[in-house]
Structure 1
Amino acid sequence: MKGVWLEDLTWPEAKEWFDRGAVVVLPIGAASKEHGHHLPLCTDYLLARAMAERLAAVLPVVVAPILPFGYYPAFRHYPGSQHLSPETFSALLKDLLGGFIDQGVRNLAVLNTGVSTEPLVNVQLRELYETTGVRIAGAHISNLGRAADVLFEQKLGGHGDEHETAMIMAIDPARLRAEKAVPDYGNMIEAPKTVFYLPAVFSGEAGAGIDFSQTGVRGDPTLATREKGEEALDAITADLVDGLRALFPDAVSISS
């Protein structure tokens, strides 16, 4: 592995990496958020860890400890789902990233596995650039690995679906309750397609309209295969590697 996990270093070793100008990557992945009846609450955390490990296998980056909490309002009512207010999540990001900047890190990137977290991450990166002059790069899972989209067959995806299930099959199949996976599109297929953004929640209440989801899933996890998951992870890794090489060419060429 060319990169390292920050948590495995001593502080003098961390300083050596920082002083060499290594890119520090902060992954965001919920450690406890509902993903239906078949995927564990730690699905996002597993995805964040796998993506970061694959990235560090190729590039000499320093991977910070995964941020296991975030702004996940659509799932807050499910038992076990942990959710931060937008103010708390933004403040946490500001403190963590600002701490690295205070320690002399100038090459920083965020790897975000959430969707509702996207706008808050982008705003905080913009604000930190305004106040510190450090331009932090942000990668969101919604934009990653799109080259593998042709493999997926579900009518509609979004959460605990064919895509996420396939990646967990590739990462840690023992965590999967495959016999509990069922198609669940809720009422989203009938929802009007417009240019407007509409906030949404997931709800098991039959009268919830387009928010309805019987299982907390949106998509068809029964179509997932390990092979699709491997292809998706490979596509995500390629996007991340290409992106960091383009943005930080000198930093990612340093010797570990």
Structure 2
Amino acid sequence: MKKAKELIYMTRDEVKKAIEDFPVAILPLGATEQHGHHLPLGVDIFLAEGISRKLSERTGAMMLPSLPFGYSWVWRDIPGTVSLQQHHVESVIKDVAHSVSRYGIKLLVLINGHDANNASMKYATRELMDELSLPVIYLFYPNLQLRMQEYCETPSWHGMIHACEFETSMMLALKPELVDMKKAVREYPEQPKLYGKSGISLGEISKSGVYGDATKATKEKGEKMLNVFIDEMEEMMLEAYKEKICLSHI
């Protein structure tokens, strides 16, 4: 397998050659926030980076430095959290797109590891449609609920993933040295009636910071899900690139 093309380790000449070979850039999007007592605050960064790196290895796309902060308002009072406003995340995505479009990138792929970044990706992509000829696609664990049904033993907490069997399994596959399974717990907090309809936040309703059952996580589950996600993301990336190239010749 080829080595990932990570921008921060490349010279300007290497970047120029990489763009000539395959003009696609990947931007990993993460967050810095609590993930229970058994996982580090950088989970969303590590997962987005790990997937992006493997996609770069497979395709030759250039991997940009990851965005380490996202919209993490719900954990704002827990030590270590760094939260950007939602519209700031959107603005950073747009600025990155405008930057890479100037020197030959033909497709920007956003690989997200943090659920709350999805709104920023969506609206940034829509606005960029009217500003640039550079297409942008945004990916967050394709068919997530289906894959969890296939590979996880335990259900999600109302469709959400956070420090649970899913994320812990993914971390065991990508960064096992940062996972302390002795501290993994199971917690499905009761959902307040006004949750999602008021200012009640996740940080107020979970004692452990876990939403699900982290004790059932395994490296094997993580590796299986990781491979499926990467296959699906690679297919979508190449389809988007193919469409861009075809449209440019019309």
Task: Say whether the fold is shared (TM-score over 0.5).
Answer: yes
Structure 2 distance, partners of 1:153, 1:117, is: 27
1:160 paired with 2:163, answer: yes
**Corresponding residue number in structure 2 for 1:64:** 64
Contact 1:35 1:43 in 2 (8 A): yes
In structure 2, the CA distance between the partners of 1:145 and 1:238, relative to structure 1 (3 Å rule), is farther
The normalised TM-score by structure 2 is 0.87
Q: How far is 1:149 from its partner?
A: 3.3
Contact 2:23 2:104 in 1 (8 A): no
Is the deviation greater in 36-45 or in 151-160? 151-160
The counterpart of 1:243, out of the listed 213, 231, 236, is 236
**Corresponding residue number in structure 1 for 2:184:** 181
**Corresponding residue number in structure 2 for 1:24:** 25
Contact 2:8 2:64 in 1 (8 A): yes
**Corresponding residue number in structure 1 for 2:206:** 213
Q: CA RMSD in A?
A: 2.4
Q: How far is 1:55 from its partner?
A: 1.1
Contact 1:111 1:138 in 2 (8 A): yes
Q: Percent identity?
A: 28
Structure 1 residue runs without a partner (length 5+): 205-211
Written as runs of structure 1 = structure 2, the 5 A alignment for 1:67-106 is 67-106=67-106
Structure 2 residue runs without a partner (length 5+): 246-250
**Corresponding residue number in structure 1 for 2:224:** 231
In structure 2, the CA distance between the partners of 1:18 and 1:57, relative to structure 1 (3 Å rule), is closer
Contact 1:112 1:140 in 2 (8 A): yes
Q: Deviations for 1:119-141, whole angstroms, at most 9, x for unmatched residues?
A: 11110111111111322111123
The DSSP-based 3-state class of the residue aligned with 1:131 is coil
Q: What residue identity is the alignment partner of 1:167?
A: M
The normalised TM-score by structure 1 is 0.85
Q: Deviations for 1:36-81, whole angstroms, at most 9, x for unmatched residues?
A: 1110111111111210122122111111111111112222221101
Contact 2:56 2:62 in 1 (8 A): yes
In structure 2, the CA distance between the partners of 1:221 and 1:81, relative to structure 1 (3 Å rule), is same
Structure 2 distance, partners of 1:49, 1:251, is: 25
The alignment of Structure 1 onto Structure 2 pairs a total of residues equal to 240
Contact 2:22 2:61 in 1 (8 A): no
Q: Which consecutive segments of 4 or more residues in structure 1 shift more than 6 A? A: none
Contact 2:142 2:229 in 1 (8 A): no
**Corresponding residue number in structure 2 for 1:42:** 42
The DSSP-based 3-state class of the residue aligned with 1:141 is coil
Q: How far is 1:145 from its partner?
A: 8.4
Q: How far is 1:3 from its partner?
A: 4.3
Structure 2 distance, partners of 1:234, 1:198, is: 36
Structure 2 distance, partners of 1:235, 1:106, is: 26
Q: What residue identity is the alignment partner of 2:86?
A: P
Q: What residue identity is the alignment partner of 1:176?
A: V
1:117 paired with 2:117, answer: yes
